[in-house]
Amino acid sequence: MSGRIASESSVPSDEERDLEGAIALDVTRFRDRSVHTTRDIVAREEPLEIQLGGASLAVVMRTPGFDADLALGFLVTERVIASRGEVASIRHCDSVQRPEAEGNVIRVVLRPGVRVDLESLRRNFFANSSCGICGRATIESALAEVSPLADATRIPAHVLSGMLRALESTQELFSHTGGLHGVGLFDASGRLLVTREDVGRHNAADKVIGWALRQGRTPLAGHSLVVSGRSSFEIVQKAAVAGISIVAAVSAPTSLAVDFARSAGMTLLGFVRGGDFNVYSGGERIVWPKSCAGGSRDEAAG
């Protein structure tokens, strides 16, 4: 049994064919002291090369699907472009010389007159992926291009749990694979506008923001971003660039995410489960129940 590996030899079911972001494999399963071969559905992870014109800008590991939204969201949250109007075209670009790149290269062409420093951008992306995010200097650098959000949106505490349930109910790929993150965008009333899933939560956030950019909804003042996992610096920073003032997650935030949220005037919530949650920043945007005597104490968060 030690020499067996998963294969893709079995004919997939109709349900398996419909899952663009997943793939069905034959696997050997050990359960209840018995061994048998069965089908398992796993999340797809493939590289996406984002090009500006004909030049490679970055490669991200993502779940295929909504690649144009991912590229647009990536470009705006990384401050390469400021608006959808700066983009002339966006399309997959396959090459007979690189058959392995089929479906995994997307080319963005900017409108005449839109200038970018390609080499500087490449160095910045390389530095971030190589040495990571580094403390206060990075926060100050990021905030230099993101004005503190003065969004006066307020959201009732009881609406938050409904937002999380709405996100979970639309995570189709996660329900099949257990291996994807989900990010949902909600309006001021708590209505779900769009959900995206990906192996990388930052990719899912970019797909959501790219969708909003295409729909002409940016900047996203009055909106909330709900994340199925934890809130990292990158998630909170991307939300801030898009103008989103409220970020809520089912799990914990990182310390740098909290620092950035407080500096940017954002509301950051963690451990949103059932009707409970923690406020790490911006508690003034939460409308507490009248019966909640301790609500004023939480205003100190942020």
pLDDT digits (tens, 9 = 90+) for 68-122: 999 999 999 988 999 999 999 999 987 656 666 678 999 999 999 998 887 777 7
Is 60 exceeded by the pLDDT of residue 256? yes
pLDDT value at residue 296: 46
pLDDT value at residue 10: 43
pLDDT digits (tens, 9 = 90+) for 4-59: 333 333 444 444 445 678 999 898 888 888 898 998 899 999 999 999 988 889 99
Give catalytic status of residue 131 as yes or no: yes
Is 60 exceeded by the pLDDT of residue 163? yes
Return the minimum-mean-pLDDT range out of 68-77, 90-99, 148-157, 255-264. Answer: 90-99
The active-site residue out of 93, 131, 134, 292 is 131
Better pLDDT: 94 or 266? 266
Q: What is the pTM of this model?
A: 0.85
Is 50 exceeded by the pLDDT of residue 300? no
Is 90 exceeded by the pLDDT of residue 127? no
Residue 208 — φ and ψ, nearest 5°?
Answer: -65, -45
Sort residue 44 into left (φ over 0), alpha (ψ -120 to 50) or beta. Answer: beta
Closest CA to 46 of 200, 201, 209: 200
Better pLDDT: 135 or 288? 288
pLDDT value at residue 29: 87
pLDDT value at residue 185: 98
pLDDT, mean of residues 278-288: 96
Return the minimum-mean-pLDDT range out of 67-76, 156-165, 175-184. Answer: 175-184
CA–CA distance, 282 with 268 (Å, rounded to integer): 7
Is 50 exceeded by the pLDDT of residue 2? no
Mean pLDDT of the chain: 84
3-state secondary structure the chain: CCCCCCECCCCCCHHHHCCCCEEEEEEEEEECCEEEEEEEEEECCEEEEEEECCEEEEEEEECCCCHHHHHHHHHHHCCCCCCHHHEEEEEECCECCEHHHCCCEEEEEECCCCCCCHHHHHHHHHHHHHHCCCHHHHHHHHHCCCCCCCCCCCEEHHHHHHHHHHHHHCCHHHHHHCCCEEEEEECCCCCEEEEEEECCHHHHHHHHHHHHHHCCCCCCCCCEEEECCCECHHHHHHHHHCCCCEEEECCCECHHHHHHHHHCCCEEEEEEECCEEEEEECHHHEECCCCCCCHHHHCCCC
Closest CA to 267 of 214, 225, 205, 206: 225
Better pLDDT: 146 or 132? 146
Percent residues over pLDDT 70 in the chain: 80
pLDDT digits (tens, 9 = 90+) for 211-248: 999 999 999 999 999 999 899 999 999 999 999 999 99
Residues paired with 247 in a beta bridge? 225, 268
Return the minimum-mean-pLDDT range out of 122-126, 153-157, 214-218, 271-275. Answer: 122-126
Better pLDDT: 8 or 292? 292
121 with 80: CB under 8 angstroms? yes
pLDDT value at residue 155: 95
Is 60 exceeded by the pLDDT of residue 299? no
The structural domains of the chain, ordered by start, are 14-43 (no CATH), 46-143 (3.10.20.10), 155-298 (3.40.140.10)
Residues paired with 24 in a beta bridge? 41
